[in-house]
Amino acid sequence: MVCFFVQRALRGRGAATALLEAAVATAKRHGAQVVEATSVDPDSPSFRFMGYRSMFRAAGFENVQPAESRRHVMHRVLSAPLRRRLAST
């Protein structure tokens, strides 16, 4: 996931979180094992449409690596067997 668009009047009311959870549920329903997202910190001067790291962390995503100085790649593992396999390495 890379971008969210929420009308200004609806921002700060959980719309992006609802969109994120719906996207994760759809990916899982279609057999995805991992969902990848690119996020930013709240103080980022740009790219805020990607969503804040805190929102993704609250939804179970973990940092994988910084994509660059402002953006961060995050994953949420949806498959229990894959989660166990990754935890044992």
What does the block give as tokens for 30?
A: 């279609």
At position 6, the amino acid (one-letter code) is V
Checking if the pLDDT of 67 tops 80, the result is: no
Please compute the mean of the pLDDT values over residues 56-73 and round it to a whole number.
84
Cβ neighbours of 36 (radius 10 Å): 14
Checking if the pLDDT of 32 tops 70, the result is: yes
Please report which helix (H) or strand (E) contains residue 25, including its range. helix 15-29
Expressed in angstroms, the distance from the first to the final Cα of the chain is 26
The pTM (predicted TM-score) of the whole model is 0.79
pLDDT category of residue 84 using cuts at 50, 70 and 90: confident
Which of 22-31, 40-49, 56-65, 71-80 is least confident?
40-49
Q: Are the beta carbons of 25 and 38 closer than 8 angstroms? A: no
Residue ranges of the domains in the chain?
8-87
pLDDT at 48: 72
* Class of 8-87 in CATH: alpha beta
